[in-house]
Structure 1
């Protein structure tokens, strides 16, 4: 049995987890079977480990705020004829403990031991904290 690995990826242009969820339901970001996908130039070399229960952890405004379980990797060929990888994920965005993350390009591997823990489900009437406040609280060890 192979180990499990995760990815961490910047959600460029996203202000909140809700923005990410709204973006992922647009038809241009979905597979034919209606699942969200993120298309990237590079194919993960550790794909088998990623598909063994791995997730993509999303960085929003400098903070890891949520994750999605990776379901499969689809090959996609762009209009330019270049082969790319579509990282297809579960539509459920799982909130995680806010974890500051410096900017980087592309995606990075994230060991399961280094991944932020899932948060318990929010109560229906709770307001989400702004990412900047989540980052500040995480930096001082409160979140």
Structure 2
């Protein structure tokens, strides 16, 4: 299993991403119609590892905020006649412990041991910590 990490440019919150990804104009054809997607330029050479349980981790405002599990990766034609890579993702947004991440261009492979924990696993009860509290506890090394 392998993950990818990517900046979410122009979004202020997870809700912004949900609204953008769930826009009816972005609906996918069958068999992917229950999923969402994002486009990128480069096709990952390690796509098989990503599809073996990997996730796309999103950075919003300098922090890893959430992840989405990969369903499929393919190439599609872009409006300018070129080729783009389409990451088809589950229609779920799994919040993570907010973790600082430096900006970069494009996407990067992200090894599972570097990935932050899901928020619902922090408490061990299924409860979600407020994002600010989780970030402070993480900075203090308590989670």
TM-score (norm 2): 0.84
Contact 2:98–2:131 (CA under 8 A) maintained in structure 1: no
- In structure 2, how many angstroms separate the alpha carbons of the residues matched to 1:16 and 1:56? 16
TM-score (norm 1): 0.84
Provide the secondary structure at the position in 1 that maps to 2:110: strand
Contact 2:6–2:57 (CA under 8 A) maintained in structure 1: yes
Query: Structure 1 residue 55: deviation in Å?
Result: 0.2
Report the aligned-residue RMSD. Answer: 2.0
Provide the secondary structure at the position in 2 that maps to 1:22: helix
Provide the secondary structure at the position in 1 that maps to 2:16: helix
**Counterpart selection for 1:7 from 4, 8, 11:** 4
Structure 2: gaps of 5 or more residues: 121-125
Contact 2:7–2:103 (CA under 8 A) maintained in structure 1: yes
Provide the secondary structure at the position in 2 that maps to 1:64: strand
Contact 2:37–2:89 (CA under 8 A) maintained in structure 1: yes
Structure 1: gaps of 5 or more residues: none
1:73-121 per-residue CA deviation (whole Å, 9 max, x = no partner) reads 1211112221111000001001111110010010000001111111214
Task: Please give the residue correspondences for 1:15-34 in structure 2 after superposition, counting only pairs within 5 Å.
Answer: 15-32=12-29, 33-34=33-34
Provide the secondary structure at the position in 1 that maps to 2:119: coil
Aligned residues: 135
- In structure 1, how many angstroms separate the alpha carbons of the residues matched to 2:135 and 2:10? 17
Query: Structure 1 residue 137: deviation in Å?
Result: 5.1
